[in-house]
């Protein structure tokens, strides 16, 4: 508090003396600190009283006396230096010297209320509107709250109050038995056991602390080692990909840090249920597959439980909810399906909380609280998954099955454009995709990847579609008007143009790689033979009639190359005889092997033999004989 009456009187007295000086020297209005703080209208009003007679001076001094009285009355009410809204509690502590008392903040005027009261009082004392406005400004400028907020004293009081709060809620005497064998653990007993554990950890020496820390590190290392062994033995492509291992590292670090943070902060309630294990379940399932998702869920749940002091209940809840999350996105077709996981995750947490609560005979209030926290996790996890999935795809250039499913949709701009501008190529690509997908499924390759690669492998043909036979009308062949060299250039250009188109439409590199590798370094034999016939073999450089490559370096790319060759060649068979088709497939694939086009691919000869069988059965089914309609001959002739 501040001494109100004397302070107000001194302030008004200082203004009066300043005015008296200004009568003698009007320049004081521009230099005296007691006068320059007023606005121009107020200073002009005061300047009118600076005459040589002093009559007007006594008039203004009389009005200042009225201002002083208004300020004194306001001060007696008690004026706070803050507004009510700035004071979070209903009471304030008022300190006068060494004495302190608690009062309701409504016992005093807040800062805005005091200024309003001053304005109302001045309005009652004077009638002239200009005079009221100026004297109100003078009064409000001179006004000083007599209950001033002290941040330093407030912090001091908070510390004193905090120190008075006991860290203990009960007492355990020396040698007191807390619980015995086969006795039920009540909430009171649980609290004592937790307190004992906490007290024991605080008394650890450097050796015990080191042992405990080493145990935690070893605990996590063993769990991560199990995940690593799984990836090494069953998902070697992930294990050998540093980018994907980096993603795993980031996810486990994030979960470990979140668990540690919730332990340290100790926000109370059921905060441990906010550890977003289901988000990891969803992410790893979408980016890799459901088995990786389930295994990652198990390891992440064990790590989180270990960091929470081997919390069995938390582990069970996360495994159940995370596993259902994996189930919800195992066959994901679009990104919106991620949000379907909310229902499955919440269902897992709900059921888990119910059976754990019933087993331990927990209170209904705790069950409701646990379900509420679980609900927050169920909502947040899919949202985080949706955001992080985009981040990982763009930052680490990861091609997920979800991306491939979206690309396989015929409504994709590139596929729609291909259908409109090069329909023959579009249907060829669809046929190759079905053929390659069947072969990939037979040998255990990535069916979705090879299917999408087949759909986009010939997108470069859209630039000049009529130079390719599948888009030409019968009897129409533009290459008849070109030299072999020009024809080869046009054919080769569809590869480079396809790569450019793929990059412009942001196709993943895994898909773009199918464009050059499906031809490898093979010779464009039609135009090579045409050149030999025209110029002679010794005058033709065979390498000029080769594709630039590279050769296929994955099983999927090898399947794509073989499927493209066999599907294209099979179109020339007019009579679908089984032996004819089988010979064609065998000779084409054997020729590809002899030309060493598959040498860079990890595909095996036994897998190639399986691919031959699949190609034969698939193409034979597609080209089976059909019964002619009655009078079909007349229909064909237009009779």
Segment 173-220, tens digit of pLDDT? 666 777 777 777 777 777 777 777 666 666 666 777 788 788 888 988
**CA-closest candidate to residue 451, choices 541, 386, 514:** 514
Residue 624 has pLDDT above 60, yes or no: no
| From-to residues of CATH 1.10.1760.20 in the chain | 206-398
Res 136: pLDDT: 80
Residue 426 has pLDDT above 90, yes or no: yes
Res 345: pLDDT: 95
Ranking 127-136, 267-276, 402-411, 490-499 by mean pLDDT, the lowest is 127-136
Could you tell me if 269 and 369 are in contact, meaning their C-beta atoms sit under 8 angstroms apart? yes
Helix (H) or strand (E) holding 609: helix 605-622
The CA distance from 295 to 326, in Å, is 10
Query: Sign of the C-alpha dihedral, residues 128, 129, 131, 136?
Result: positive
Percent of the chain's residues with pLDDT above 90: 41
Helix (H) or strand (E) holding 13: helix 4-24
The CA distance from 457 to 476, in Å, is 24
Q: How many CA atoms lie within 13 A of 56 on its CB side?
A: 12
147-to-84, 321, 344, 547 alpha-carbon distances in Å: 13, 56, 58, 89
Ranking 2-11, 406-415, 569-578 by mean pLDDT, the lowest is 2-11
Segment 347-379, tens digit of pLDDT? 999 999 999 988 888 888 889 999 999 999 999
Average pLDDT, the chain: 84
Q: Which residues pair with 103 in a beta bridge?
A: 92
Q: In the structure encoding, which two tokens stand for residue 562, read together? A: 């073989």
Give the length of the chain.
Answer: 639
Q: What's the rounded mean pLDDT across residues 100-125?
A: 85
Res 630: pLDDT: 57
524: left (phi over 0), alpha (psi -120 to 50) or beta: beta
Count of C-beta atoms within a 10 Å radius of residue 313 = 18
Q: What's the rounded mean pLDDT across residues 538-556?
A: 91
229-to-222, 233, 256, 288 alpha-carbon distances in Å: 10, 6, 20, 16
223-232 long-range contacts (CB < 8 A, ≥24 apart) are: 223/299, 223/302, 223/303, 223/306, 224/252, 224/299, 224/303, 226/299, 227/295, 227/296, 227/299, 230/295, 231/292
Residue 2 has pLDDT above 50, yes or no: no
Residues contacting residue 623 through CB under 8 Å, at least 6 positions apart: 570, 573, 576, 581
**Residue labelled with tokens 């579009």:** 426
Give 363's DSSP letter.
Answer: -
Res 402: pLDDT: 86
Q: Write a three-state SS string for 403-466.
A: HHHHHHCCCCHHHHHHHHHCHHHHHHHHHHHHHHHHHHHHHCCCHHHHHHHHHHCCHHHHCCHH
Residues contacting residue 90 through CB under 8 Å, at least 6 positions apart: 104, 105, 106
Q: What's the rounded mean pLDDT across residues 44-67?
A: 63
Q: What's the rounded mean pLDDT across residues 589-609?
A: 94
| pTM metric for this prediction | 0.61
Residue 309 has pLDDT above 90, yes or no: no
Q: What are phi and psi of 499, to 5 degrees?
A: -65, -45
**Residue labelled with tokens 């439980």:** 305
**CA-closest candidate to residue 109, choices 124, 97, 121:** 121
The interaxial angle of helices 312-329 and 341-360, nearest 10 deg, is 160
Q: What's the rounded mean pLDDT across residues 275-283?
A: 95
Count of C-beta atoms within a 10 Å radius of residue 106 = 11
Percent of the chain's residues with pLDDT above 70: 84
Q: How many CA atoms lie within 13 A of 99 on its CB side?
A: 3
Could you tell me if 486 and 464 are in contact, meaning their C-beta atoms sit under 8 angstroms apart? no
Give 539's DSSP letter.
Answer: G
Res 53: pLDDT: 47
Is 1.10.1760.20 the CATH classification of the domain at 206-398? yes
The interaxial angle of helices 555-570 and 423-443, nearest 10 deg, is 130
Helix (H) or strand (E) holding 504: helix 484-504
| Strand, coil or helix: 348 | helix
| From-to residues of CATH 1.10.3210 in the chain | 410-622
Res 29: pLDDT: 58
Segment 142-153, tens digit of pLDDT? 777 878 888 888
Residues contacting residue 103 through CB under 8 Å, at least 6 positions apart: 91, 92, 93, 94
DSSP of 543-575, one letter per residue? GGGB-------SHHHHHHHHHHHHHHHHTT-SS
Q: How many CA atoms lie within 13 A of 317 on its CB side?
A: 29
Query: Sign of the C-alpha dihedral, residues 148, 152, 153, 159?
Result: positive
Could you tell me if 591 and 597 are in contact, meaning their C-beta atoms sit under 8 angstroms apart? no
> In Å, how far from its chain's centre is CA 422?
39
| Strand, coil or helix: 100 | strand
Helix (H) or strand (E) holding 229: helix 206-234
196-to-168, 178, 185, 215, 234 alpha-carbon distances in Å: 12, 10, 15, 20, 45
Q: In the structure encoding, which two tokens stand for residue 598, read together? A: 């598959």
Q: What's the rounded mean pLDDT across residues 462-477?
A: 83
Res 254: pLDDT: 93
Assign 47 a pLDDT band (cuts: 50, 70, 90). low
Assign 22 a pLDDT band (cuts: 50, 70, 90). low
Q: What's the rounded mean pLDDT across residues 5-12?
A: 64
Could you tell me if 382 and 341 are in contact, meaning their C-beta atoms sit under 8 angstroms apart? yes
266: left (phi over 0), alpha (psi -120 to 50) or beta: left
The CATH topology of domain 410-622 is Hypothetical protein af1432 (1.10.3210)
Assess whether the previous peptide bond of 212 is cis (omega < 30° from 0). Answer: no
């Amino acid at each position: 508090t501040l001494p109100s009456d004397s302070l107000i009187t001194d302030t008004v007295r200082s203004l009066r003396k300043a005015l008296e000086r200004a009568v003698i020297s009007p320049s004081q209005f521009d230099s005296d600190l007691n006068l320059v703080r007023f606005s121009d209208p107020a200073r002009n009003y005061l300047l009118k009283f600076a005459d040589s007679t002093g009559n007007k001076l006594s008039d203004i001094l009389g009005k200042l006396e009225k201002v002083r009285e208004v300020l004194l009355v306001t001060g007696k009410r008690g004026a706070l230096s803050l507004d009510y809204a700035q004071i979070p509690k209903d009471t304030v502590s008022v300190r006068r010297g060494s004495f302190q008392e608690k009062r309701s903040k409504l016992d005093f005027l807040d800062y805005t209320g005091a200024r309003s009261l001053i304005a109302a009082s001045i309005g009652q004392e004077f009638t002239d509107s200009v005079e009221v406005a100026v004297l109100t400004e003078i009064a409000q400028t001179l006004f000083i709250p007599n209950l001033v907020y002290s941040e330093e004293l407030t912090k001091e009081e908070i510390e004193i109050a905090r120190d008075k709060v006991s860290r203990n809620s009960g007492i355990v005497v020396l040698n007191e038995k807390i619980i015995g064998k086969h006795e039920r653990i009540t909430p009171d007993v649980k609290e004592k056991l937790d307190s004992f554990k906490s007290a024991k950890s605080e008394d650890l020496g450097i050796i015990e602390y080191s042992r405990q820390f080493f145990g935690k590190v070893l605990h996590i290392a063993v769990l991560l080692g199990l995940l690593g062994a799984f990836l090494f033995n069953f998902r070697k492509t992930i294990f050998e990909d540093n980018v994907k291992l980096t993603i795993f590292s980031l996810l486990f670090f994030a979960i470990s840090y979140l668990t540690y943070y919730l332990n340290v902060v100790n926000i109370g309630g059921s905060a441990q249920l906010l550890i977003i294990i289901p988000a990891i379940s969803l992410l790893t399932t979408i980016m890799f597959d459901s088995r990786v998702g389930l295994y990652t869920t198990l390891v992440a749940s064990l790590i989180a439980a270990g960091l929470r002091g081997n919390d069995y209940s938390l582990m069970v809840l996360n495994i159940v909810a995370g596993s259902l999350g994996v189930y919800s996105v195992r066959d994901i077709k679009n990104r919106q399906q991620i949000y379907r996981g909310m229902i499955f995750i919440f269902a897992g947490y709900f059921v888990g909380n119910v059976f754990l609560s019933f087993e331990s005979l927990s209170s209904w209030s705790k069950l409701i609280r646990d379900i509420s926290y679980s609900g927050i996790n169920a909502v947040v996890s899919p949202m985080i998954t949706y955001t992080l999935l985009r981040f990982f795809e763009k930052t680490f250039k990861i091609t997920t099955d979800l991306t491939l499913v979206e690309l396989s949709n015929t409504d994709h701009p590139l596929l729609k454009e291909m259908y409109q501008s090069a329909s023959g190529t579009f249907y060829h690509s669809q046929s190759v995709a079905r053929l390659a997908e069947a072969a990939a499924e037979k040998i255990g390759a990535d069916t979705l990847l090879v299917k999408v690669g087949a759909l986009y492998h010939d997108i470069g043909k859209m630039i000049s579609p009529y130079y390719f036979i599948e888009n030409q009308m019968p009897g129409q062949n533009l290459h008849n008007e070109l030299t072999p060299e020009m024809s080869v250039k046009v054919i080769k250009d569809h590869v480079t143009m396809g790569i450019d188109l793929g990059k412009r439409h942001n196709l993943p590199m895994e898909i773009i790689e199918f464009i050059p590798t499906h031809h490898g370094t093979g010779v464009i034999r039609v135009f090579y033979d045409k050149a030999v016939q025209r110029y002679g073999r010794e005058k033709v450089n065979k390498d000029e009639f080769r594709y630039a490559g590279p050769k296929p370096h994955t099983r999927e790319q090898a399947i794509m190359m073989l499927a493209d060759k066999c599907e294209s060649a099979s179109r020339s068979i007019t009579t679908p005889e089984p032996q004819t088709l089988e010979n064609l497939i065998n000779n084409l694939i054997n020729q590809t092997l002899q030309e060493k086009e598959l040498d860079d691919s990890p595909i095996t000869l036994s897998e190639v033999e399986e691919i031959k069988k699949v190609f034969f059965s698939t193409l034979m089914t597609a080209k089976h004989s059909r019964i002619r309609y009655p009078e079909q001959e007349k229909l064909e002739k237009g009779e």
